[in-house]
Every structure is written in C-alpha cells, then in structure tokens.
Structure 1
Amino acid sequence: MARSRNNNEILTGPTWMGLARIVCVVAIMVGAALFGPATQCRGGLAGENVILVVNGNSKASRTVANHYAHLRDIPSINVVVLDDVPTGLSVSLNDFRDRILKPVLETLNERKIAAQARVICYSAGFPTSVKINEHTAKLTDEDQKKYQRPLGSINGLTYLYRFLFADDPLYLGWGPNLYCRGAIERSFVNPFGGENGERFDQAVVDFNSDDPKAAAEAFADLAREFPTLSPLSVRAAEAYGRAGDTANAAQWVVNALRAGWTNATYLRGSDDLSDVVSMSAVSKALDQISDAPAVLQSPIGFDSQLGWTSSGYPIPVTKGGLPYMQSCVLGVVHERGSTVDQIIEYLESAASADRTFPDAVFGYSKTGDVRSKTRMPGLPAALGRLLSQGQKPSIFKKPLPDDAQTYAGLMLGTATMNLRDRNFRIAPGAIAESLTSLGAAFGTASQTKLTELLHAGAAISSGAVTEPFSLQFKFPLPSIHAYYAEGVTAIEAFYLTLSSPYQLLIVGDPVCQPFAKASTDTVAMRVQRDDDVRILIETETPQLLADPVATQRMEIFANGRFSRATNPSREIKLRIPDDASGAVDIRLALISGGPLGIRRSYRQTLDLKGPIETPTLSVDASDAQVVTVSATAPGADSVTLKIWGQDADKADGASASFPISRSQWGDGPLRVRLVGKYGDKEVQSVPLVIGDED
C-alpha cells in the first residue's frame, strides 16, 4: 500500500514500488537473518486511525462493530460495510483479495482517509483464514516448501497486502516484516540499495580505516537526505568523535535524538563518544531518553504511510521503503470461539484499561515443552528491558501460573490449558497468548483456542490458523511485553515482535494501551461568530499535576477526516465559510511520546448555527426491535438518515419518520445522523446515539 506521489492514496496494483525493489529489500532482510523513530514518523493509534470493517449481512458483525465503534469513538467515515463477504472459516486467495481487501482499500481512497489509517480491524463475521496454495506452489526453497503451509490468517495477509497485490510469494520468507524489532546492531546495517547503498558501504570502510572524517561527512549527508533514519546520525556522531571533532560529534548526537534515537545506554557505551556524552548539555539530554540495555532495538510507533527498511527504520515509500497495514480481528463468533456477548465483554474491559498502568506481573512459562522452549532464546533480553522500566517479570516452570498474582502479560507455550480453575488473575488490558499449533484453527476441537484467554480477561491474543512447526518467527518474541509496557498499543506490540505474520490470527482490541503516557492537556472547543466565523480550539495544562506529559504535536480532523498537523498551540482558530450551516465534528489528537507517537484524541460536535437551521432527530425506542427515528430539516428538499455513515433511508420533503430494524442494523449503540438536502447543499444534524445503554 503505497502513498501515491500526488495524494495520500493506497495503491492496489503492482506498480507501487516495483517488484525488483521488493525483492531487493526482502532479500537483504532474509540474508541478514533478522528475527525480528523518527520524529517524522506519525505513529500511534486512536479511534481516527482505526478502519472498522463490517459484514453487512451479519447481525453479529454489525452488533460487535456497533459496540466497538462507540467504545473507541471511531469516526463514521472510518466504518466500511461490505455486502459480499464469503461465508465459512476459510476463503480462497482470490475471494479474499477481490471481495474483502481490495474493496476496503478502494473505499479508503474514495473517502480520502488512507493517510490516517493505521489498522484495518475486522469485526466478527469474517473468514479467519485464507487459502494461499497459488503462492506456496511458487516456492523454490526446500525449507520454505516444507514449513510454509498454504493457509494464512486474514489479518496477517492484510498486513502483507503489498505482496498479495503483486501476486508475489516473498512474504512466505522467514522475515518479511521489516517493522519487527531485532538486535540493536541491526540498526546499523545498510538500509539502502543502489547508489545510496554503495555510499553507505564506503562510509563503513572509511569508518573502520584511517579516514573517519570522510565517513562522518558521508553518514551526515545520508542523514540529511533520510532524516527518519536516526542510526545514520548516530554513525555520523561516532565518526566525528573518532576523528577528534568533538563539536560536530556533539551536534550529531543531538541530531540523532531529534531524529528519534532513544537508547541512551548505547550512546554512553560508545568508545567514540566518550568525550561527548560527558558534556553537561548532552548528558542532560540523554537523561530524558531510555536507559534500557543496548540489546534490542527500541520500539517505534507504526505508520502505514512510511515504508520500512532492512535496518528496521522508516523512509518514504517513494525512496524504497516497504509499507504495511496493521490488522486484527475483533472476535470470532463460533462454537469453539466466542459468543457476541463474550466479545463485547472483553472489548469493554480492554477499553477501560487505557492509561491505567496496572501494578501487575509479566509472566513467562518455561517448561520442557517445545512450545515453550522455542522462545526462550529471546527471554533474557525481554527480562532486561522490563526490569529497566521498573516492571515485574516472572518466570514460572509450569504451563500456567499456580499463584494468585495479577498478570499484565502472559507468554505461554502449551497445547491445552484449564483457565476455569485458575487462581491467578489477568489484568484488564493484558496481552496473553500461547505458542501452539492450532490456537486459531476453529474448525477442529484439538487444542485450546486463543479465545479462551480473552474470556479469561485478556484484551488481545493470537494463535496460528494452521500448523506453524513451532518456529519462533511465526509468533511474537518475548519482548512483546517489554514494548507494551513502554506505551505502544496492543497491535503495535504484536507487529513489533512478529517477524513472519502470515499465519497468526490476532484477535481482540488493537487500540488498548494501558501503559501509554499520553498528553495530560485538556481541550475545549466552541464556535466564535464575530466579523467572521471561526471554530476556536483551546488547550490547557491542568495545574498541580504530579507528572504532566507535554503535547509534542497536534492533528486536526473535521468530520473524521484528517485536515492538518500543527505544532502545540494553546489556541487554534479554524476559519469557516460565513454561510456554513449544520453540525460539524472536530477532533484534536494530542500526540506525545516521541517516536512512539502516543495519541489522545478529543472530539466535539459543534452546531455552527448558520443561515440554514440545523436538522434535528428524535427517537422512539418503545419497540426494542424496531426503533423509530423522527427527522426534521426545515426547508429541505429531502432528508437522508445515516447510520455509522451508511445511508439507511431517504425521503422527499423536510421531515420523515424512519424505522430502524435491529435485525438489519444489529444491537448495541447506533450512531445516527440526518442530512438535509437544500438544492446542491447538504446540512447535517448533530449525531444521536441510540442504544448506548444496551
């Protein structure tokens, strides 16, 4: 999915980057055996970044979507309803691509919301797996032919959409996800191909020989051209330090921090920077970033509009980066999965967990089972990172904990588990998952399904849709919990630690973020009518906060669609036309957390009170199954009722009564809105939520 050169669109043909470059990027990554921010990276997730996909012919799908859209304040423009969804647990590759994925991406382009999309979230009522025989048949590597089964998950293949639209099986390699974190040394591998790759290689030769100044200048030039690649600034600083140019070395350390480098331990441990890091100003700056061990790469907020390189850092897609689109499933309604009520229950629990900072344990099962042993090599690094944050990791030598502690995270490795008789508690917002063969194979009763962990209290979980052969790169690394504890969202924690996501079904709330240190500013909005008409947005930092978090960037959305980004401001004035009428939804996203891009959004509906009277709605819910909405738009030629942005009914004239059948639109909260048509002009009402008490 690439952004076009002229607008923020997702391209669904094989022309986005050129297949030669895809081959180059993935070949570099696989050759480096990777198992596994930049301030320009617009990472992080909130409701405005969630694309909620609904099966229009499934009441269960609509009901789950109604609840989730309300819980996460997802704009109606982000809700995509499909009416031709294949039935069953599994779907052919062509049907998935042509009847599900392509219509979703085309809708994002049509609505001009591709640039703000960070996760495609499927409601209940979708196939969970996709048959990819056409792609496994193209494999030539004997190991891949043996271990890569012809069945992928719906969210894994959505994440790897670029390869699907290219009809290319390269995603079946061991590490197609360049966004996945690896060892910190990976930060300094050559992220380029072609001429820039040669420039990088020559700079490395100069750095390791007798010409560190030439290396410094080469790394600095590349860093200026690619400001999102903060390791280039680190290398420039080290080369200047080796050349004895302390002043320039100090400047490039500062540049690295501005570009998103967040590991102070690495900088302090570099022999080439020993004179620099002892400088007072630099030392104080390093005190503001992470002192985690210099073992793993730091997390970066996800951005679908940037591409990722073999070093794990982003660059523009037009300059060779490989883009992805995060994805998950809200719930699986199935006799071996969940009921609709169970899905709603764990989604509500997850939404309540944001920014609660649970005082709980991160637990790791360590047994002789291969399902447990597979991930043990990555455990020390994860434990070190958790301990550096003041978190409480715990190792238990059984399939499940047998204590009464509360767990904010569980990494398990067992085929079956009895969660009904447990003594331990899973904290709201927790990530809990188990490495096993059939955790998301709902067509068989064999093995405990991932949904049991959700019913036990987890916010999100995962499982393989077919036999994964206990290969680490098909499951999250132990560092998933360390990154989650640093403040990323649940879905980012998964893809930051999942090198080969094609077989893993991820189910639950993608936006959950119990450890996010979001901006503590408050927001107020109002319409100001003087000589002209403006919307006034005011922000304020509450007094006497013990630990205030500053806003670093702001994004403004109108009626759910991204409008513009701005630096922090106490007052923003939006000029609107004098003849503007009706209601408008204004959303302000406050962004903090540096490269993590932690978001907190405020939405308010404002009545512009323009020359055309704002339409109104009223509801008669005396009949629980057929709700009646009365609509009035004085002077209108016609009125249209919209539910979650979808046209529900229309009538000529200025008023009408519209029946809403729950069997068609689902149970739970329904966001309805009236649009009055006045010649060529449309004026909308304040939205009304029906059934938010359900």
Structure 2
Amino acid sequence: MCFLGSAGFRVLAGGGPEGVALIVNRDDASSIRVAEHYAELRGIPESNVVHLESVPLGDVVSIAELKERILQPVFTALAERGIAGQIDYLVYSVGFPTRVSFDSKATEHTWVANNEGSLTGMTYLYQFLDDEKQLFLSPNSNLYFGGEMRRTKDEAGRVALDASGGSDFREPFHFRAAYAWGQGGGRLAGQAGPRYLISAMLGVVDEEKGNSVEEVLESLSRSVRADYSQPEGVFYFMDNGDVRTKTRSWGFEEAAERLRGMGLNAIAEKGSLPSGEEAIAGVMSGSAQLDLESWQGELLRGAFFDNLTSFGARFSAGNSQTVISEFIRSGAAAASGAVSEPYALQFKFPTPYLFVNYASGLSLGEAYYRSVASPYNLLLVGDPLCQPYANKLDLRLQEGFEAELASKEHVRLAPWVDAGEVAYFTFAIDGRFVGRCPVGGLWSFEKEELSKGEHRLSVVAVSDDAIASQTRVVFEFHVE
C-alpha cells in the first residue's frame, strides 16, 4: 500500500479545506448528501472529494478490505490529482463501516480484548496496517500524542496508568501528515519516523442507534459557526467513582487548573452529567448509561463530549450503553467512543488534556489525536476542522487586488495582516497549493497557464506559533 508524500507548497496546520480528503460512498444517497453539505460548508475543493464504488457492506470491514477497497483507491486518486502531499485529514462521510477486523492473534496481548478496531482509528494509523507485528495495537502507537505516560502492570497483567504519569504533559502543537514524530509528541527532523492522517466520520446513520441525516447536517452546520467564536462556556470533568471515571480522574484537577490559567472556566465535580446552569464547552465523563433525554444541559457550538465506556461506538440495537450519536443529537460538535471492549485503560482514551489542547486553538481533530496514545479502538464522529478557540488574523491584500485579478494576465499578491504574528503566506488555486511567500514578500502567477473557465484562488496566512492556525480569503475569477 502506498503512503502519502510531501509536497513543495502546502499549508501548515490547524485544518483547512485544501488539506482535507473527503471520502464518499458513491452508492449511498445519504453519504453523497452529507458530503456535499460538508464540502459547501467548509469550502472543500472538488478535487479533494473522492467517490468510492463498491464500498464493503455492513458494519465491519476486514483490514485487507480497508486497505484494498478504501485506502488504496483514495491514495491513488489523490496522487493522480497531484494533491496527495497536502492532505492532513482523511474524513469519511456517512455510509461506511465503522469497525475493522484483524487477525485474532491480537488477543495474545494482555491489553487487547478482541480483534476489532475502528475505521477512523485504523485510518489514522495507516502506516502500521501492513506490519505483521500489528504495531497499531501498541499502547504508544500514536507518537503525535502530547505526553509520555508511565505505566505499570496491574494484577490482571494488563497495562495500567500510573497516577504519576499525569504530570507528563506536552504543550499543544499543530499536526501535519508530512511530519515524522518522536516519543512524547515531538516533531523529528527529516522523514525518518511514523506519520499519521487525522481521520473522522461526519456521522453514522441508517443504524439502529445512529443519527438521522438531518441531525448530522445540523451538527455540521453548528460546528462551522463555532469557528473563531472563543466560547465562554464551562469545561466539565465528571467523577462518579466508577472505574470509567477513575481511569482519568488523576488529571481532572490539573487539566481544569490549566484551563483556568488560560482564562477559561473549568470544573471538576462529582456526578456523571454537569448539574449547573452554565453553558457547556466540553464534558469528560465515564458512565455506561447517561440520561440525556431528561438532562437540561446546554452544549455550546463546538462542544466536545467524551464519555469513557466499553461500547460507546457500537450502534447495534442490543447495545444498552449510551452511544456517541446521542451526544451529537444533544448538540456536540464531535464525540468518540470504543467500537469494541477496550478495558478501562487510559492510553486507549483521550487524557483530560484533550480540552487544554482544544482550547489552545488546535482544530478538534488535532486536539483529539494530540490527547490519545493508542487510538485504534476509538471512532471519532463529527467535524474535525472545528476550531472555536483559534485566533483569526486580519488578513488583507494590496489595494486594487480584486480589480487586478479580474483584468490582468499577470497577477501579483502582496498579503499582509493588520495585527498578529504570521509565519508565512501560502496560495492555492482550485484547491492545489502552488506557492508561498514570507511576511513582506510578493507572489505572482500567470492566468494564461490555467485552463479557460472559472477558478478559485485561496490566500492563507499561517500564524507564527506552535498552533499554526490558518486564516484564509478566497477569490473566484475567470480565465478567457
């Protein structure tokens, strides 16, 4: 199976439409409808949308089918279109299997209960799928994870988190699929090291416990409106004494304190659901069943709801546990859950620093994968590009630029920002990155080199910090 490579010009991070590969089940009307809605909301270029035929039916796909019938066709299409090197996110529309089965020898590991992973978790770990050692099962398979958990063996022989590991926090840092990562979430020089692809599903429908198409569309619309909004709600860390909350309670107070130090509201309290009247920016809980129908909590746009339980992403009618589709229905921008028994092991779930990463300005997808050491078992559902806490730069172009774009063959761009620190500017035409310039620099292109018809020019400013958030302006123009 081929891997995505790097490109000469590309956006850095944060998450933008040019860096997304949107995967659609061509044989599923709901998949097409949701994908078209999301592409319009996010401005995802047509070249970044990949329609797949003969997607395996049912809820489970084998690891061989994932590689041969989903990932390989996607990678091939992106390479043929010349955009493989700029893709950081592989996002599935609805209409795909949610579980991936693999060799039963996996259960030889004391921390592995069965031989199933999730579609998004296994896609994120795509470089490990050909490995006979099944390294995707490793407790530290995700080196982008911003921490270094210290572990001991418990009496059952399973891997458990030592409470002292709660201090091993690494500051938030942006993601790029082209980056190689080292232990503890640090970027390595060069290309020697594992690389990943942020992956999420936009929703799960047509299942006994999934969402309706309308619920998915509304959730995506809400999440887009959350971008740059700097919401003032409360982040809740719930501790009910159950093993599902004990697994992560070691870090609740420290994460809450970090959030308060950022000027945000955060509460670690007893119970399973927030009891206050304040609007909610995020919830971290752990309970097999949550009574969301009678709950009066208000989830703000962009809110993430993370509940640790065994089958949070098992959508069959026989599952009595609360599933993540219920959080989407309640207003969350995203939620994640296990597709099969994970055991109550910290490295298989996001740490409490999930909300610290999110509130730093990282995209939802970045914050999520920055916070979980071994994501193979987790299904992430929602909008991975949502960035409520990112800082939007006041991006501008020279006076008269739009007139020049409309009338001249040789087009010059001299971007600048009125306030804020910028690392550089990058430019895309019809979704493909074609150039960049430093602050105070100039970039130009010839319209005669483009085909006749309508085109789209994107100008992107990348912030000069560890978050590398993006601000973009888009122009439509015509070539005679």
TM-score (norm 2): 0.90
For 1:207-235, what per-residue CA distance to the aligned partner results, in whole angstroms no more than 9, with x for missing partners? xxxxxxxxxxxxxxxxxxxxxxxxxxxxx
What code does the residue aligned with 1:330 have? L
- Offset of residue 578 of structure 1: 7.5
Separation (CA, whole Å) in 2 of partners of 1:529 and 1:336: 50
Native 8 Å contact 1:532 1:578 kept in 2: no
Residues 457, 530 of structure 1: alpha-carbon distance in 2 compared, 3 angstrom cutoff: closer
* Structure 1 equivalent of residue 155 of structure 2: none
- Offset of residue 573 of structure 1: 2.7
Residues 504, 373 of structure 1: alpha-carbon distance in 2 compared, 3 angstrom cutoff: same
* Structure 2 equivalent of residue 537 of structure 1: 413
Residues 138, 383 of structure 1: alpha-carbon distance in 2 compared, 3 angstrom cutoff: closer
Native 8 Å contact 1:526 1:535 kept in 2: no
* Structure 1 equivalent of residue 73 of structure 2: 103
* Structure 1 equivalent of residue 51 of structure 2: 81
Separation (CA, whole Å) in 1 of partners of 2:176 and 2:429: 21
| Bigger relative contact order, structure 1 or 2 (CA pairs below 8 A, ≥6 apart) | 2
- Offset of residue 449 of structure 1: 0.6
SS at match of 1:51: strand
Answer with 412-421 or 518-527: which moved more. 518-527
Residue of structure 1 aligned with 2:41, choices 71, 77, 88: 71
Residues 531, 83 of structure 1: alpha-carbon distance in 2 compared, 3 angstrom cutoff: closer
* Structure 1 equivalent of residue 196 of structure 2: 324
1:169 counterpart = 2:134: yes
Number of equivalenced pairs: 459
1:53 counterpart = 2:23: yes
1:549 counterpart = 2:399: no
SS at match of 1:349: helix
* Structure 2 equivalent of residue 33 of structure 1: none
Separation (CA, whole Å) in 1 of partners of 2:272 and 2:143: 31
Residue of structure 2 aligned with 1:440, choices 292, 313, 318: 313
* Structure 2 equivalent of residue 137 of structure 1: 105
- Offset of residue 603 of structure 1: 1.7
What code does the residue aligned with 2:286 have? G
What code does the residue aligned with 1:592 have? S
Residues 526, 532 of structure 1: alpha-carbon distance in 2 compared, 3 angstrom cutoff: closer
* Percent identical residues: 33
Native 8 Å contact 1:527 1:535 kept in 2: no
Structure 2 unaligned blocks of 5 or more: 151-165
- Offset of residue 64 of structure 1: 0.4
For 1:342-364, what per-residue CA distance to the aligned partner results, in whole angstroms no more than 9, with x for missing partners? 00011000000001111110001
* Structure 1 equivalent of residue 220 of structure 2: 347
What code does the residue aligned with 1:534 have? H
- Offset of residue 593 of structure 1: 4.7
For 1:461-491, what per-residue CA distance to the aligned partner results, in whole angstroms no more than 9, with x for missing partners? 0000011111111110000001111100001
Separation (CA, whole Å) in 1 of partners of 2:450 and 2:264: 55
1:43 counterpart = 2:13: yes
1:498 counterpart = 2:466: no
Structure 1 unaligned blocks of 5 or more: 10-39, 186-292, 543-547, 611-694
Separation (CA, whole Å) in 2 of partners of 1:327 and 1:148: 23
Separation (CA, whole Å) in 2 of partners of 1:579 and 1:481: 44
Q: Cα RMSD (Å) of the superposition?
A: 2.5
More helix, by proportion: 1
* Structure 2 equivalent of residue 468 of structure 1: 342
* Structure 1 equivalent of residue 470 of structure 2: 599
SS at match of 2:422: coil
- Offset of residue 379 of structure 1: 2.1
Residues 162, 532 of structure 1: alpha-carbon distance in 2 compared, 3 angstrom cutoff: same
- Offset of residue 552 of structure 1: 2.3
Aligned ranges 1:393-432 → 2 under 5 Å:
393-432=266-305
For 1:118-154, what per-residue CA distance to the aligned partner results, in whole angstroms no more than 9, with x for missing partners? 110000000000111x2x415654x24xx34200000
Residues 527, 108 of structure 1: alpha-carbon distance in 2 compared, 3 angstrom cutoff: farther
TM-score (norm 1): 0.63
* Structure 2 equivalent of residue 662 of structure 1: none
Separation (CA, whole Å) in 2 of partners of 1:356 and 1:121: 23
- Offset of residue 44 of structure 1: 1.8
* Structure 2 equivalent of residue 158 of structure 1: 123
Residues 344, 553 of structure 1: alpha-carbon distance in 2 compared, 3 angstrom cutoff: same
Separation (CA, whole Å) in 2 of partners of 1:420 and 1:79: 36
Native 8 Å contact 2:415 2:425 kept in 1: no
Native 8 Å contact 1:367 1:397 kept in 2: yes
Residues 151, 184 of structure 1: alpha-carbon distance in 2 compared, 3 angstrom cutoff: closer
Residue of structure 2 aligned with 1:306, choices 157, 160, 179: 179
* Structure 2 equivalent of residue 508 of structure 1: 382
- Offset of residue 383 of structure 1: 2.1
1:357 counterpart = 2:233: no
Largest Rg, 1 or 2: 1
For 1:177-200, what per-residue CA distance to the aligned partner results, in whole angstroms no more than 9, with x for missing partners? 000011599xxxxxxxxxxxxxxx
Separation (CA, whole Å) in 1 of partners of 2:74 and 2:423: 32
Separation (CA, whole Å) in 2 of partners of 1:603 and 1:125: 31
Answer with 573-582 or 445-454: which moved more. 573-582
